[in-house]
């Protein structure tokens, strides 16, 4: 996806066990922050 | 090249006559210059139709999927690797096949040739390492090296990796090539430039699916682009849908693509199709030391788990 030109911080991968609540919160916060910083997606969005 | 064709006819006729195979898959002369077409020969008498020159760029492994007959197949290096991939994926059994190996000296890029001459091409003749292009009243000669397909220029497996018969001695392998210069060029761009690079690349695509139909890996009974329930992708030439098709198709070829160049050869719009698959091929080599189809013993990277697989991208 990065190779195609999608911004590096827009796509995230993580492995979180159902027992890892703290990690879940951390990852979600981090994902939200980095995607917010990038602003709305302009690439790979179908117009209309 | 001529001797290859004679030997191919001889071996094919013999296999059919001795009833060792039900048909031989090879090439016959096409109706236009530089466009040999795949054909299936079932009678020994028809083996004379078979040809071999530098216009046999289409991958014949595509015609093996789920076949039940005993088949003789002409295979250059890349075809043989796709035959192995078919065997690994249970699409054909090795016992069904008699592989006639052809040490490949590279295939011609017909677009390169027609773009290099300013007349209509009537005939193309090969003599040793020269390609003679003839038009009405004009003629031009090229070194075959100048007009090779891009994947043939950087090929390191020209000899069949699996075969029962060989039509000639194996050819020398040029290991001293930089296979991934084009991929690195794209990798070095920033994300907007990369986006634009693929945008430009795909701007011509008419969604004819010739690439998919010629690809030996694309054998799904219903392709995801043809599904209507659910409809994964729009069917028009909308830029987002077109990009979706090409990248998804490329992902489906990850760890399986042998860089045979069939997709690029058959593209009527001259799109550099290998730009999609080649990155994945490079990643497979760098991350998993994997090159598709070299044998049938090793399991492909997407089919096997190894604790040492790279996982830095997972947070």
pLDDT of residue B1: 59
Q: Report the SS3 class of residue A41.
A: coil
Distance from CA of A18 to the nearest CA of B (A): 15
Q: How far is CA B111 from the centre of its chain?
A: 16
> Searching chain B, which residue's CA lies closest to the CA of residue A45?
B240
The verdict on a CB contact (< 8 Å) between B196 and A15 is: no
Burial code (b: 16+ CB inside 10 Å, e: under 16) for B97-109 equals bbbbbbbbbbbbb
Predicted confidence (pLDDT) per residue in A1-48, tens digit: 788 888 888 999 999 999 999 999 999 999 999 999 999 988 888 875
Looking at beta carbons, which residues of chain A come within 8 Å of B244? 44
pLDDT of residue B176: 83
pLDDT of residue A48: 58
The verdict on a CB contact (< 8 Å) between B314 and A14 is: yes
Residue with tokens 């922050």: A33
> What are the structure tokens assigned to B77, written together?
């290096």
Alpha helices, DSSP H, located in chain B? 2-17, 77-88, 110-116, 150-153, 181-187, 191-202, 210-214, 239-252, 262-266, 274-288
Distance from CA of A35 to the nearest CA of B (A): 15
Looking at beta carbons, which residues of chain B come within 8 Å of A12? 315
Alpha carbons B282 and B262: distance in angstroms, whole number: 18
pLDDT of residue B214: 95
What does pTM read for this prediction? 0.90
Predicted confidence (pLDDT) per residue in B301-315, tens digit: 888 888 888 888 887
Distance from CA of B180 to the nearest CA of A (A): 14
Predicted confidence (pLDDT) per residue in B146-195, tens digit: 999 999 999 999 999 999 999 999 998 888 889 999 999 999 999 899 99
The verdict on a CB contact (< 8 Å) between B198 and A4 is: yes
Alpha carbons B128 and B191: distance in angstroms, whole number: 45
Q: What angle do CA B88, B244, B85 make, to 5 degrees?
A: 10
Q: Report the SS3 class of residue B42.
A: coil
Residues of chain B predicted below pLDDT 50? none
Q: Report the SS3 class of residue B82.
A: helix
């Amino acid at each position: 996806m990065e190779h195609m030109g999608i911004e590096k911080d827009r796509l995230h991968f993580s492995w979180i066990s159902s027992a890892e609540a703290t990690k879940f919160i951390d990852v979600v916060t981090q994902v939200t922050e980095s995607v917010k910083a990038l602003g709305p997606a302009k690439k790979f969005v179908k117009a209309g | 090249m001529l001797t290859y064709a004679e030997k191919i006819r001889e071996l094919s006729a013999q296999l059919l006559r001795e009833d060792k195979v039900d048909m031989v898959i090879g090439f016959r002369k096409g109706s236009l210059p530089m466009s040999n077409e795949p054909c299936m020969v079932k009678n020994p008498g028809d083996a004379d139709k078979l040809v071999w020159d530098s216009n046999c760029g289409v991958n014949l492994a595509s015609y093996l999927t789920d076949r039940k007959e005993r088949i003789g197949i002409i295979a250059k290096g890349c075809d043989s690797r796709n035959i192995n991939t078919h065997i690994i994926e249970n699409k054909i059994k090795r016992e069904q096949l008699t592989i006639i190996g052809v040490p490949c000296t590279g295939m011609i890029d017909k677009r390169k040739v027609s773009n290099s001459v300013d007349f209509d091409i009537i005939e193309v003749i090969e003599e040793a390492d020269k390609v003679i292009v003839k038009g009405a009243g004009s003629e031009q000669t090229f070194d075959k090296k100048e007009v090779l397909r891009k994947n043939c220029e950087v090929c390191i497996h020209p000899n069949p990796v699996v075969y029962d018969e060989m039509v000639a001695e194996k050819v020398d392998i040029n290991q001293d090539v930089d296979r991934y210069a084009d991929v690195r060029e794209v990798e070095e761009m920033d994300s907007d430039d990369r986006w634009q690079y693929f945008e430009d690349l795909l701007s011509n695509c008419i969604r004819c699916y010739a690439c998919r139909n010629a690809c030996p890996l694309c054998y799904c009974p219903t392709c995801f682009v043809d599904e209507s329930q659910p409809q994964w992708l729009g069917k028009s030439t909308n830029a987002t849908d077109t990009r979706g098709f090409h990248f998804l198709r490329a992902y489906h070829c990850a760890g399986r693509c042998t860089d045979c160049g069939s997709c690029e050869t058959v593209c009527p719009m001259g799109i550099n199709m290998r730009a999609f698959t080649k990155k994945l091929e490079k990643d497979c080599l760098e991350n998993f030391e994997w090159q598709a189809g070299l044998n049938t013993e090793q399991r492909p990277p997407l089919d096997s788990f190894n604790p040492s697989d790279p996982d830095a991208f997972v947070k």
